[in-house]
Amino acid sequence: MDDPYLNDLKNEFRKYSSELKILKKNLLKSNSPEEQSRIIKKIDSIAKEMEKNQRQSTRVTKSRLKEKSRSNKTSKF
C-alpha cells in the first residue's frame, strides 16, 4: 500500500530508531549520572513518540483498508 501519510509515519519511525541508536551509544559512553539520567529521559520520550507513531500507523492502515474494501464492494454492484 503506497500512501504518502503512511510513508511519512515510516520515515518518522526510522528517524526515531536512528536517534535511539545514537542515544544508546552516548549512554554507554557516559560516566556522569546526571548525563545518563538526561539521556534516559530522552530515550523515554522518543519511545513514547514511537508508540504514538505505531498506533497512528495502525489506525490509518485499518482506515485505508476499510476504504478500499468499501470501494471494492460498491464497484461490484
Tell me the domains of the chain and their CATH numbers: 4-76 (1.20.58)
Give the span between the Cα atoms of 53 and 32, in whole angstroms: 31
- Predicted local distance difference test score (pLDDT) of residue 76: 64
For the chain, what's the residue count? 77
Q: What is the pLDDT along the chain (77 residues), one digit of tens a residue?
A: 578 999 999 999 999 999 999 999 999 999 999 999 999 999 999 999 999 999 999 999 999 888 888 888 777 65
Q: Taking the model in full, what pTM does it have? A: 0.79
- Predicted local distance difference test score (pLDDT) of residue 22: 97
Question: Is there a contact between 64 and 3 (Cβ–Cβ < 8 Å)?
Answer: yes
